Amino acid sequence: MISNKMNSLLSSNSTIRAMFEEGKKLSRIYGSENVFDFSIGNPNVEPPEAIKSIINEILNSESPNLVHGYMNNSGYEDVRDDISKFLNKKYDLNLTFENITMTCGAAGGLNIILKTLLNPNDEVIVFAPYFGEYKNYVNNFDGKLIIVPTDTSTFEPNLEYLKSAITPKTKAIIINTPNNPTGVIYSETLLENLGKLLDEKQEEFGSNIYLISDEPYREIVYDAATVPCILKYFKNSFIGYSYSKSLSLPGERIGYVVTNSSMYDFNSIISSLNIANRILGFVNAPSLFQRVIAKSLEIEIDISIYKKNFDLLYNHLVNLGFSCIKPSGTFYLFPKSPIDDDIKFCEDAKKFNLLLVPGSSFGCPGHFRISYCVSYDTIKNSLPAFDKLAKLYKL
């Protein structure tokens, strides 16, 4: 009696989640210290200690009916104002509270944007490898997902491939930088050229194309890398942001959407995001954590923990003979699988209690993803298992 859409999802439920359950099973059999679960992006770094005192400060100083009550569906105006000022300083912009819509994480943000934009059969372009949920989000609104093939030399979008993929039905393009699963940050030059190409295509087709930059990993970057701000390179652009990774608050579902002031039809778009928040059932981003965020804008988690994991694991894998692009951010590695069949490779890895995600889950077969947001000890203890896996494949 399940709807057709859900029925097909039931049978092909997220590989990542399935592996999460399998990890728990293996842990019961072998002991959790002997299972190396690199399958899920659940940050192991603790939220900043300050979050606790900020919550206390809010509960002790603000009226409970304000803290836990309804507000505008786009969020508290003072919180949105604080975020806009923070972004203005960071990127030299001129945003006001009106540019900011508070959302239930980046997932909520992407859904209200797509609800706002998509008519059935509108095309939404993503670049392989891509976060698998994009397919479901686009499908929620009967859009058509168009996958532009991977450029494995850089793992940046290939604009020549993109050029031929854009049609008059193209309504949106989703990019994800720093990228899950590759860890690559899209360069300023790439974004500049992307913006130009989209301007040309809009002119050619007399259409509006909207660019959505999904940036939950914006703050998880290494060696002083920075993520260029998409708003500067294309007028019809949105940023989807989340505090799930940058403050290790994935369960709290708190994030925001930034809408570019230069966007075509700006006023209707922001009104529509507001209504979409309401009618999709989010109503508003969770209220206490909106207020927490406003007081946490300058706070960061300790990235060095991820960097230490990264150094140990990346160097070990490269020394073993795995080929892997060097990421500039996120807590993922995306090495090449020694065989084309990445699903078989990940099955083999399980023999050594290594839980990895096949690249096929990201539309990019022949690779696999390692989430290294786990303890340093897990990484250290997993190295012999990677040795055995490399040996099995005669690397």
Interaction residues for a second copy, span 87-106 (CB under 8 A)? 104-105
Please report, for residues 70, 83, 85, the alpha-carbon distance to residue 289 in angstroms, rounded to integers and kept in the order given.
13, 13, 18
- Asked whether position 14 contacts a second copy by CB under 8 A, the answer is yes
Instruction: For the segment 271-310, give every residue that binds a second copy (CB under 8 A).
Output: 271-272, 275-276, 278-284, 286-289
- Closer residue to a second copy, CB minimum distance, 250 or 366: 250
135 burial via Cβ count (<10 Å: 0-12, 13-18, 19+) = middle
Min dist CB 156 to a second copy, Å, is 27
- Asked whether position 133 contacts a second copy by CB under 8 A, the answer is yes
End-to-end CA distance of the chain: 50
d(CA 255, CA 108): 8
What 3-state DSSP class applies to 178? Answer: coil
- Asked whether position 3 contacts a second copy by CB under 8 A, the answer is yes
Min dist CB 6 to a second copy, Å, is 5
Helix (H) or strand (E) holding 192: helix 188-205
- Asked whether position 13 contacts a second copy by CB under 8 A, the answer is yes
Instruction: For the segment 339-368, give every residue that binds a second copy (CB under 8 A).
Output: none
Helix-strand-coil split of the chain, %, nearest 5 = 45, 15, 40
User: How many residues bind a second copy, per CB under 8 A?
Assistant: 77
Peptide bond into 178 cis (omega under 30): yes
Instruction: For the segment 214-243, give every residue that binds a second copy (CB under 8 A).
Output: none
Contact 128, 150 (CB under 8 A): yes
Min dist CB 260 to a second copy, Å, is 13
- Asked whether position 379 contacts a second copy by CB under 8 A, the answer is no
Q: Report angle CA 304, 44, 343 to the nearest 5 degrees.
A: 105
Q: Of 47, 181, 327, 338, which one interacts with a second copy (CB under 8 A)? A: 47
Q: Of 86, 91, 141, 205, which one interacts with a second copy (CB under 8 A)? A: 141
- Asked whether position 50 contacts a second copy by CB under 8 A, the answer is no
